[in-house]
Structure 1
Amino acid sequence: MIGRALNPRVKKLVVITLLVKLAVLGLIGASTYLVPFSFTGHDVNFVYPIGEPAYWASAFKTWDANHYLYLADNWYSPFHIGNAFYPLLPFLIRVAGYLALGHNLVAGLAVSTLCTVLSVVYLFRLVATTHDEEVAFRSCLILLAFPTSFYIGLVYTESVFLMLATMLLYYLKENRSAPALACAFLLPLTRPTGILVVVPVLVALFFELRAQGKLDPKKLLVPFGFLAGYGSYLLVMLLATGDAFAGFDAQKVFQASNSLLNMLHPVNWFLSNFVYTEFTLNGFTTSIVNRVFFVVYAVIAALSYRKLDKTQFAYLLITGLVPALTGSLTSYVRYLVIVFPIFVYLALTLRGKTVLFYLVPCSILQVAGVLLHASNRWVA
């Protein structure tokens, strides 16, 4: 493990990741001078501290970040809109806040940056076990250049989720059941789709059993970690609000209106999202951008079956399809950041200088996305 930690490619990736994240933070700081700040977009959303007027720090805590910072300070309470958000990130911010002398925004950015670095390191390690280090290195670069990868350095759950998912699949492959179990427990506490990662875990166990004819009994505990984690989430909500399902009620307030029941009506889902809708460039529920990225995802999913490790392919399907098919594709371009097998497939496809045809335009789009997001003009 130490040898891998000192791998020159890993060290290079850590430096690149930190430079990219620092550049994003610098761009956010400069955004007020580059793009007019939308005070309307700021004021119509939940702002924490309550009623705080917009100022320079507002660019660093847009949209969902305000909810996580509120929860870090106040935790859950009955009938609050913040109940829609999951508890792991607010808990980490609260803990890190003690080290940051109570500056929870600084703590949140630090937590996300650390998780981003670990995400890249474990993505490299995981892909290196299924392909090779060259593919693993390119996969990480392609992830960092993705148009919405700036979210994995903000006060959002993308960085925590991606870190836990890559760690889980890596430790499972390395036959290290204890850390894999810990990751399985924490994923359902991170965001609603955390419980879905049990599917690629079961796929991994199935193929291992078929190949070897037996399984390490300790590995059989890993799927139960998801159940324990989800049960802990419901217990947190019950103790804090008096209702274990308060989070589900709060989610109904948001425009996305996602529901697993929508998956039972795929024809209606397709018609409402691609036929009977008034398309806008990037509206909450009518975004052309989100629909284009879903089509790109679907094409990659169809082409990647023979190229990807079966566990990673299962992860690609479950984390990419369910968020799409349960609602109106709201924020889909952001959700794709955690669907890391997409970047592995692209790394297998784009070799040599051809990878620049991805990295350059995607990096430009990411710069535009950062400026629009920080100015409260766009939320993925």
Structure 2
Amino acid sequence: MNSYIKKLTIITVLTKAVILAVIWAGYYLVPFNVPAHYANFIYPIGEPVSLASAFKTWDANHYLYLADAWYSPYHISNAFYPLFPFLVRVVGSLTFGNNLVAGLILSTTFTVLSVVYLFRLIGKTHGEEVAYRSCLMLLAFPTSFYLGLVYTESLFLMLALMLLYYLRENKTTPSFICAFLLPLTRPTGILVIVPALAAILPCLRAKESFELKKLLTPAGFVAGYGTYLLLMDLSTGDPFAGFDAQKVFLANNSLLNLLHPIDWFLNNFVYLDFTLNGFSTSILNRVFFVFYAVVAVLSYKKLDKTMFAYLLVMGLVPAMTGSLTSYMRYVAMAFPLFVYLAIKLRGRMAYCYLIPCALVQVVFVLVHASSRWIA
């Protein structure tokens, strides 16, 4: 095993262990927001607040519900995608039915694999030193703690990185599998078809080197999305039940908003009564968006076309389809951000990013686990 990969694996596992320890300690040190807890969906229904509640706040309850009960007509949890709860249910059979433990084990495993594939991918394009720092930048990012919780972030990031890595290695079968699974993981899974096409298009132009099997990867996205719609139809009687359920949530995202960028800007940055971190009025979410936008502009000449395309769709679409709700969490999936930072920040400058971000992450963990805030 590469010495960098061995070191990163240890760092990742220790980081996730520290996050879980902070949640455990935070439950006893930070008063739990009981009203917010009961105002949201709880599973099991009506379960009293306990230490376990700190490990499964907010969306985690939906994934645990789906792992047990699956989809049903008109249920709010239909808004969430099926791959992660399915895997939780499978692994839960090995944890004596404790799906919370199963979810935490899966997320930690997926995070380790995400870091490994990020290192491998960036090592090919920018060298091992930059790849190593990229991984550290990712782990330190203020909302990267979600990678170790019962959320889909770690699964999504792992599949996206594996897809781009196997495309670069010209390995069709694993890239097809990743393409198939991404639309079953998160709503933004289908968007990864854009960087996938960016990787394939040069081969299409160079007809002498093009192989028909390369088209299997974009076909995988279509097949995966079709499978999602079929699964929802079989489970709820309506292939679009997930979209209807998403309308219940405050974010109320819509692709149609992309057609009105000026209205989007005015509604999100001008005609708004800002709060520190309200669901749709958060100053923090807007600060993170500005950070993303600046890095995206600066990184244009530093990243190849595939990674830059990924950076654009994973940073812009989640922002411009709605009210920037939860943007701090979504932008962590735009991993080329960390590649650019790793290129520019070296030595002591890297620590000027890593240390403050890690400290902010601890604060975010505490307020999230106490049911006071969700990114």
Q: C-alpha distance in 2, partners of 1:212/1:28?
A: 54
**Distance in 2 separating the partners of 1:206 and 1:348:** 26
State yes or no: 1:43 paired with 2:38.
Answer: yes
In the other structure, the counterpart of 2:177 is 182
Distance 1:134 1:67 in 2: 39
Identify the residue that residue 53 of structure 2 maps to in structure 1: 58
TM-score, normalized by length of structure 1?
A: 0.98
Aligned position for 2:215: 220
1:248 aligns with one of 214, 239, 243: 243
Q: For 1:243-322, what aligned pairs fall within 5 Å after superposition?
A: 243-322=238-317
Among 346, 352, 371, the residue aligned to 1:376: 371
Q: What TM-score results when the alignment is normalised by the length of structure 2?
A: 0.99
Deviations 1:127-156 (A, max 9, x none): 011110000000000000000000000000
CA distances 1:268-296 after superposition (whole Å, capped 9, x unpaired): 10010001011000000000000010001
Aligned mates of 2:171, 2:36 — CA distance in 1: 46
Task: Give structure 1 stretches of 5+ with no counterpart.
Answer: 1-5
Counterpart CA distance in 1 for 2:29 and 2:342 is 33
Shift of residue 353 of structure 1? Answer: 1.5
For residues 181 and 375 of structure 1, what CA distance do their matches in structure 2 show? 40
Q: Residues of 2 paired with 1:215 and 1:223: CA distance?
A: 15
Percent identity, aligned pairs only, is: 69
The match for 1:34 is 29
1:148-159 → structure 2 map (5 Å cutoff): 148-159=143-154
| Structure 2 residue aligned with 1:8 | 3
Supply the distance in 2 between the matched residues of 1:218 and 1:27 (Cα, whole angstroms). Answer: 47
Find out whether 1:162 has 2:169 as its counterpart.
no
Is 1:142 matched up with 2:120?
no
Question: Which residue pairs with 2:86 in the alignment?
Answer: 91
Q: CA deviation at 1:212?
A: 7.5
Amino acid at match of 2:255: L
Q: CA deviation at 1:213?
A: 4.5
> Separation in 2 of the partners of 1:123 and 1:210?
28
CA distance in structure 1 between the aligned counterparts of 2:3 and 2:233, rounded to whole angstroms? 47
Q: Secondary structure in 1 aligned to 2:146? A: helix
Distance in 1 between residues matched to 2:256 and 2:294, nearest whole Å: 25
Measured in 1, the distance between the counterparts of 2:156 and 2:63 equals 15
Instruction: Check if 1:352 corresponds to 2:341.
Output: no
Secondary structure of residue in 1 paired with 2:93: helix
CA displacement at 1:352 relative to structure 2? 1.4
Q: Which runs of 5+ in 2 are unaligned?
A: none
CA distance in 2, matches of 1:150, 1:141: 13
RMSD of aligned residue pairs (Cα, Å): 0.9
**In structure 2, what is the Cα distance between the partners aligned to 1:9 and 1:50?**
45
